[in-house]
Amino acid sequence: MTENTEIATRDAELMNTLNDSTKLSIIRDMFARGLNETEFAVFLELAKRYRLDPFSRQIWAIKYNNDDAKIFVGRDGYLAVAHKSPYFDGMESGTLTDDKGEIIGWCRVHRSDMKVPFYVQVYEREYTTKKSLWLSKPRTMIQKVAECQCLRKAFNLSGFYDPDEVGDDGAQAQNSCPSHAPASASAQTSEVPGQSEEPAKPSAPSKPSSSTPAKCCVCGGEPMTQHETDTAKESFKAVFNYDLKTPICRSCSDALWKSMMTQKQD
């Protein structure tokens, strides 16, 4: 199978997915929760127009209370668009440090139909949240911002946000539900309501709380809410016929989903 044939086959499968009522229900619950009918229609139109796969985390949306929904596309989504273009002629990217110690991300995207490549430089101080991966891997994060901006310019992409640009941990979590505040890092762990499998035990007596969930069974981080967990379990069962082990956090669930989706596509 040639590369063009493989891309065409996957695009056809994606279009079938985006027109399947059962899978649309899963997409709405997992990757576009809380969107009204108009917002979800826009989300689907962008996914179809740019051939972006929600299940592969190339596109997702977040709704904050009564604010307008924000639609996000990550670096892998931008690359997916570029790889489908017959004019994409390669990309270079990296980081450098100026004489003041400022970390700068840069990216150069080549198109075969243009004489001059697109080039972008971005400064870490303008995007860092000084939390999470921005604290531990600032060069990786600012390089991703540069890549997203350069790919967007090179292929005239619009209508959505890059999560690394907005400096929002909710966007970084890829559709974590903002209406549910995470448990405090200092809170004692207890059993997830309705979850009997291997409950976490508190290290010291504490006041029981049904709203304080056990830790993620993979990384020990804060798990998803019960509603998110139930939705994720249903989705893994429907798509992969897989019983998701819980409690689990959004990041670990995302990583497992992406891995299983890649294996399924291969």
Cα separation, 242 vs 21, whole angstroms: 21
Neighbours of 33 (CB within 10 A): 21
Residue 169 token pair: 């941990």
Q: Average pLDDT for residues 106-114, to the nearest whole number?
A: 97
pTM of the model: 0.62
Residue type for position 39: E
Please report, for residues 50, 59, 195, 256, 264, the alpha-carbon distance to residue 56 in angstroms, rounded to integers and kept in the order given.
14, 8, 28, 11, 11
User: Please, are residues 259 and 242 in contact by the beta-carbon 8 Å criterion?
Assistant: no
Q: Which amino acid is at 140?
A: T
The pLDDT of residue 168: 53
Measure the CA–CA gap between 49 and 47, rounded to whole angstroms.
6
HSE, side-chain direction, 13 A CA sphere, residue 19 = 8
Whether residue 54 is preceded by a cis peptide bond, meaning omega within 30 degrees of 0, is no
In the chain, domain spans? 3-78, 86-154, 226-265
Q: Which amino acid is at 250?
A: R
Token pair listed for 225 = 């809410």
pLDDT of residue 167: 57
| Residue 188 and residue 212 in contact, taking contact as beta carbons nearer than 8 Å | yes
Most confident of 2-6, 166-170, 214-218: 214-218
| pLDDT bracket for residue 191 (50, 70, 90) | very low
Confidence (pLDDT) at 174:
44
Q: What is the mean pLDDT of residues 109-123?
A: 96
With a pLDDT cut of 70, the percent of the chain lying above it is: 77
Angle in degrees, 0-180, between the axes of helices 138-154 and 75-83, rounded to the nearest 10: 40
pLDDT digits (tens, 9 = 90+) for 194-236: 333 444 444 444 444 444 458 888 888 888 888 778 777 877 7
Contacts of 237 (CB under 8 A, 6+ apart): 243, 244
The CA-based angle 123-135-71, given to 5 degrees, is 70
pLDDT tens digits along 238-252? 677 788 889 888 778
Query: How confident is the model over 81-87, as a mean pLDDT?
Result: 94
Q: Coil, helix or strand for 161?
A: strand
Report CA Rg, the chain: 20
